[in-house]
Structure 1
């Protein structure tokens, strides 16, 4: 029996996967931005959007829920969103229809995008980096670096040291294996910091964390402290700042 091989995700396959997920009513609750977007916004906006009318891009905005949370906390911020899934952007336009001014939402076919260089004060990329293998990840980070103003910030969340095998399955038609949420790589705090530094971003903060309500976080912290829970905090929440030096070319 041959060893099953993982799917090698093409941009078209990724877009098709998320086009499908965006239409599943039961999948909505599984979107990270729905369940954890507000805590991320509350913890980071004061750091990355310090002045009124700051321009923020949600790179990989999905169905637009995180942009809506930002608008509730900071109605002065100018919002933008981008995603490779056309259907996700179509739904995001409905999600964000009550925001004034309306966010600039764009379906991406490739990078670089059509936004001008140094357009944004901050870029959020929530639960995206675990979905991208090289060179797609390097292309995204190069584009984020281009889009940020000098000294601008990028906020990244990703699962903390995820065991990808636990959620792997096999397609009965083609025999290829894949993660049920299309994850292709696992990150630790250190590996994320190292990768970002290679692409022109300096560390501001990076922590393994819980994004649940405060009382639950305290209980989980206490349980880990006394050994009742062995698992690590499930998320990495990291903020990086654009360095003004040239991005390292890792393709040579």
Structure 2
């Protein structure tokens, strides 16, 4: 089956990170510590696997100007809208691995990517391969067991973020169809719950250091505030932000 570029034509102009990105930045900062400011030290290398147009890389660039930045994405269209200009970007199908040498990176970040992959196992094996000893892997992905998904499934409605069609994002959503922001799907192949994510990471040689919850940025008004409050309990959150280390 040919892969579909669900994000072709999309350009982001955000200057403020989403909540999940802010969490990731804080985890990266805590991990790198003085390494990003020590004079004469080798600049730490960060890879954004599934970087899109480089929006997250631009936030990293602003926070850590001495980091060496790389990004890789399936969408050539998104890469052509690249930012920041100093990042080295490549096009590749992440289902087939990462086009980098072994032990190339101190930090690998992958935001909202795992749910799009037909072969997450190959991807995670390659993430482990390209990481240096003592490195940090940070990923975010939607939570199948989010508080509202638990209620929706009991009511016989398809959970949010789970897509049943490659042509329509409204299959199975029932009365929620009126609230859909767009009709086209975004390409979600599988959605994880917290323990499944832990198991998958362990299978591919990672030890989970921490798991935090994050809210969904596209909810309106009161629902967004409620979601942010519930996100303090990761197992109920809209999004999971996981930090992990390669097992020696």
**CA, structure 1 residues 236+166, in 2 after alignment: closer, same or farther (shift >3 Å)?**
closer
Paired with 2:18 and 2:91, the residues of 1 have a C-alpha distance of 23
1:132 Cα shift?
A: 1.4
Matched, 1:146 2:129: yes
Question: 5 Å matches for 1:16-165?
Answer: 17-18=5-6, 21-24=7-10, 28=12, 35-36=18-19, 38-50=21-33, 51-52=35-36, 53-92=43-82, 95-97=83-85, 102-109=86-93, 111-133=96-118, 136-161=119-144, 163=159
TM-score normalised by structure 2 residue count: 0.71
Question: 5 Å matches for 1:175-214?
Answer: 180-210=185-215
Aligned partners of 2:72 and 2:90 also within 8 Å: yes
How many pairs were matched up? 206
* Structure 1 gap ranges (5+): 1-9, 173-177, 226-230, 245-252
1:224 Cα shift?
A: 5.0
Moved over 6 A (4+): none
Paired with 2:228 and 2:211, the residues of 1 have a C-alpha distance of 21
1:84 Cα shift?
A: 1.4
| Superimposed CA distance per residue, residues 94-136 of structure 1 (whole angstroms, 9 cap, x where no aligned partner) | x212xxxx11111115644442210100100100111113xx2
Paired with 1:185 and 1:44, the residues of 2 have a C-alpha distance of 25
Supply the RMSD in Å over aligned alpha carbons: 3.4
1:42 Cα shift?
A: 3.3
Paired with 2:89 and 2:141, the residues of 1 have a C-alpha distance of 23
| Corresponding position of 2:242 | 238
